[in-house]
Chain A
């Protein structure tokens, strides 16, 4: 095992009855890395995570966490990892501080409750009950709870699902903070922009398999057309007339609005401008964008990520 790989997964398989949830998944995560598993609901992200955490037994495959087998040495693994479960809650009738102290008591190594609450900006609410917190605060609390044992590896399962954009940003900051503390973070999400913002490497899962694994930049660069030109024209034109050299696809999302997927901006942009002059159509606005992981997912699976 490479010294800096804290999580290794090889040939993982898990089926529930007739449904194959995880179908031959392999990857490795380096120390201090923030690693994302993205994909739609039902792609097998949560099952993969729960097998690595030692909560479920795989049908086949090999898992090592910090060099330990989560099935054979579960207690040792659990001492050193922190877990935030998807949609999990805590005791209704204990205060935030009491919950953190209680969970801390399950571990040999623990961080002070107030320090954890300060870390997620909830020190003022130490005596509050969970139900008195907003959704974003509850989610921040569950991050704090995942850190009670000062873990080396943190697993976050869909940490921002259901949060408003502001709460999501605040959670992103916390994940960044975990990375700067030197922790390895493995998270799942079905928000591509989240994976792009947080993760150094991303595994894209679909139907129980990893269909691509790389840095977000590299994944986008691998696209046939990694750039988008967004045009706002004075009057509508026939979309095919804009398909100059290097344009792979033209879509028309609105009146006078066009989106051109291009292989290279340097190649296609002058040609598009020249075509507009030929057509004698004025340009209201022009934007050049890099493609996103959303486009990568669409290109790899032929599916939109969110329905």
Chain B
């Protein structure tokens, strides 16, 4: 009896193309848009090289600069023209090789101080190395650099669990809230009350349908994440029970919102008023480290941040679920609390 109801609820959810778009396509689009930005690409400095007079040092210097990934190097014939473009922002740095071949002048603009700091340091080191090499000196100590993280973590690895949490939250709150308000307005809940089926069973089936859909949401988001280059460690399957738990919390929130809202637009607005701040404060797109500490500590106790933390443990770091036991416990506590609230707040009319 209940299974038939869950299937019918799933049909309703899947035939409502607009809601389904927000549930499935929207988070995926987010991933796609961020993938286009290619956040992992190192910064590049536009460098113009002006040779006052051709000399023997010119070509080897130019070749060595070309090999440096930091610089995108172009030649300019005239110093004046190069400086004009520097002021316009076409270049970040202009390097002038003096005609005596013994001096090089670097011009930089103050428009991008941080980048210039990096660029000037790199340039200074470049000339040191170049001088040493030209003098035929063998370096006494060779510095070798190696990253210690087990895996090379890219931005997509960080973003995909964030988007998963965001998608689970938004669709659960707004989807559930607007659906219930609609059912209430159409008196479907009252109509169910005239049948032997308890209204509570009707709502439980609705929750089950949303939970089933959240698994599909998770498959889709992780799948697209994989396509744009996010790694999937062996612990990724823990994302599914976490998705169910997180979804359950936000479905309860949706039921509470439905009880407070008088119309479908009001429910959507109220859902966004809860979801959007959580989304920006909980570290969906960027680590929340930059927040003022009181806010960070507060948000850490709201349901989305610990959910994201746990999702990143299993998706980003490849840790077993138990390493995030505190976060899981916190989300679990929210599940119990929001369920109690939802049961109290639910209304038929």
Contacts and interface: CB of A to CB of B under 8 A. Distances in A.
Contacts of A149: 195
B1 A53 contact: no
Contact of A88 (B4, B191, B195): B191
Q: Is the interface of A mostly helix, strand, loop or mixed?
A: loop
Interface in A122-167: 149
Nearest to A83: B194
A91 interface: yes
A90 B194 contact: no
A98 B11 contact: yes
B12 interface: yes
Contact of A90 (B4, B186, B193, B197): B186
A94 B187 contact: no
Interface stretch (A102-110, A181-189, A245-253, A271-279): A102-110
B188 interface: yes
A284 interface: no
Given A89-B188, A91-B12, A55 B196 contact: no
Interface in B171-199: 182, 186-188, 190-197
A79 B196 contact: yes
A89 B187 contact: yes
A164 to B, nearest CB: 22
Interface in B195-221: 195-197
Interface string A79-102: 101010101111111100010011
A78 interface: yes
B1 A106 contact: yes
Interface in B1-39: 1, 4-5, 8, 11-12, 15-16
Contacts, number: 61
Given A75-B196, A78-B196, A93-B15, A98 B8 contact: yes
Nearest to B13: A93
A76 to B, nearest CB: 8
A107 B194 CA distance: 11
Nearest to B185: A89
Given A98-B8, A106-B1, A91 B188 contact: yes
11 contacts: A74-B196, A88-B186, A89-B187, A91-B12, A93-B12, A94-B11, A103-B195, A105-B1, A105-B5, A106-B196, A108-B196
Interface of B: 1, 4-5, 8, 11-12, 15-16, 182, 186-188, 190-197
Given A53-B194, A93-B16, 15 more contacts: A78-B194, A83-B191, A85-B191, A87-B187, A88-B191, A89-B186, A91-B188, A92-B182, A93-B12, A94-B8, A102-B5, A105-B1, A106-B195, A106-B196, A149-B195
